[in-house]
Chains A and B, each alone.
Chain A
């Protein structure tokens, strides 16, 4: 069986990669992807601890809620990105599409 520490180290690596992505990327969608990596890293931690330390499903329930929250957050974030994109595009290319309704 794989020991707990292996999972934790992999999760730390994933978290650090997410951090690296969000520090270096300029594209909003790409930054959001990096943030998802951080959420996934935390979830691996939670489930690993739930298996090795507590032995019940409490950590899994937490991870379940994290997935729900991550979904909501990315939905709203992408809506904002799209709304902003619409404005910036509107600045560059004068079009009637915004008035079409």
Chain B
């Protein structure tokens, strides 16, 4: 019973994740796609939790579900009629798109399954937040600072672009 439970959880969330991702990429309704994306993000967070990344699971829900998804919903609501834009240089048919992505999937799965990953790590349970915090303040302090510059400039850029007044 104990060995079965993680398996069931894994398969449930896998089904939820891939099913909702299918709705995102196949559906025609944008709002429905946004809500399907919610389910995808949640199941990805569940994956993180299953992999022992408790902090990341929390961040995933906070940032993706709380932030990015809300942003997407705003985007959908505010620009609901933005169809027919020439985004791609070549417009793919559904068939060739499926062909390309299935080929990529086949290649990736072959590689993933044939490569002997060196799984030497000791499995340790427990909160990861202190370890992440320590890494961020020691080894990864430069990326941490760069991320603040990135956030500043993204804030500035996004605010500049959506502001209505031209000359300010």
> Interface of A with B (CB < 8 Å)?
1-2, 4-10, 12-21, 23-34, 36-37, 40, 43-44, 47-58, 60-61, 63-65, 67-76, 78-85, 88-89, 98, 100-101
Contact = CB atoms under 8 A, between A and B. Distances in A.
A13 B119 contact: no
B140 to A, nearest CB: 6
Interface string B142-161: 01000100110011011101
Given A26-B85, A79-B161, A85 B79 contact: yes
Interface string B109-123: 100110001111111
B53 A61 contact: no
Contact of A21 (B10, B25, B41, B108): B25
Contact of A23 (B33, B97, B150): B97
B82 A81 contact: yes
B87 interface: yes
Contacts of B105: 12-13, 15-16
Interface in B60-103: 60, 63-64, 67-68, 71-72, 74-76, 78-79, 81-85, 87-88, 91-94, 96-98, 100-102
B59 A28 contact: no
A37 B158 CA distance: 22
Given A21-B25, A53-B117, A80 B131 contact: no
A49 to B, nearest CB: 8
Contacts of B44: 40, 43-44
A24 B25 contact: yes
B161 A1 contact: no
8 contacts: A9-B109, A23-B97, A30-B33, A37-B40, A50-B53, A67-B60, A75-B71, A75-B155
Nearest to B129: A57
A71 B82 CA distance: 22
Nearest to A73: B154
B24 A34 contact: yes
A82 B151 contact: no
Contact of A2 (B6, B34, B124, B140): B6
